[in-house]
Amino acid sequence: MTIAAVYAGTFDPVTLGHADIARRAARAFGGLVVLVIPNGNKKPLFSAAERVALLKETFQDEPLIRVEQADGLLADYLKKNNLHILVRGVRGAADMEHELTNAYYNKLFCPGAETVFLPARPEYAFLSSSAVREAAGYGGDVSALVPPCVASALKGKFDK
């Protein structure tokens, strides 16, 4: 598989919206790295290793998708791996404003980087990892919002 694009995020946890963006991007670009990267502004529920494992299980039957983990700047990962296309999913105007800022900084630190925005499908436009975590924390059934492995992992986190 030739990797052409990167879809990076914290994926804490991966949702069906994330999975949809990844699958669409993999088909569009012929190969995709789903990259777990840190975000200093977030305190994750799942460790990076747990998130990688959940993503690998989610995409286990997807030959065009590879899951990896990196620390540091996304731009450094791109340069190190000679990659130039970043895929970002956007749910609406608020996401777009935030993602445009990120695209600017990625371009600043990696001049060859190009960001491609994929709009969320309507059924996923409301979906966020933070809302899933909150609902699961209160015992809500989030199985319609996340892959089965993630629903099980969330239940394990909160049923203790």
Please list the active-site residues.
18, 42, 91, 129
Three-state DSSP at 136 gives helix
Pairing of strands 65-69, 114-119: unpaired
Residue the block writes with tokens 């239940």: 155
Q: How far apart are CA 135 and CA 133, in angstroms?
A: 6
CA atoms within 13 A on the CB side of 113: 26
DSSP string of 10-46? Answer: --TT--HHHHHHHHHHHHHHS-EEEEE---TT---SS
